[in-house]
Amino acid sequence: MSRITRTTERVLDNKGKLLIPYFVAGDPNLRTTLQLMHAVVDQGADIIELGIPFSDPSSDGPVIQRGVERSLQRGTSLNDVLDLVRQFRERDDSTPIVLMGYLNPIE
């Protein structure tokens, strides 16, 4: 059973609602993103959605677009995001992480 399925079933079985915060990876920087990820879990977040910065975030709203721009200005790459998840897993191996992005950087 996946982390997402396990977490979703646990919360819904208790008639709860899932808390899923979203972060643009690397905004304001990778270190702070990692700290924020741990902080929201400590405060009850169930799943974390982590945005992968991409140079043309046209489908996102203006707030996320600005976060993506700041992250890219600092040079955040897909490999950096994957390393961020690895670092998160060193302390937390159970909270699900969903990566959100565009297909272009992966192709």
Phi, psi values for residue 97, rounded to 5°: -125, 130
Q: Is 60 a catalytic site residue?
A: yes
Q: How many CA atoms lie within 13 A of 4 on its CB side?
A: 6
Of the candidates 49, 69, 80, 83, the residue annotated as catalytic is 49
Of the candidates 56, 60, 69, 93, the residue annotated as catalytic is 60
Q: How many CA atoms lie within 13 A of 52 on its CB side?
A: 18
Kind plus residue range of the DSSP H or E element containing 17? none
List the catalytic residues: 49, 60
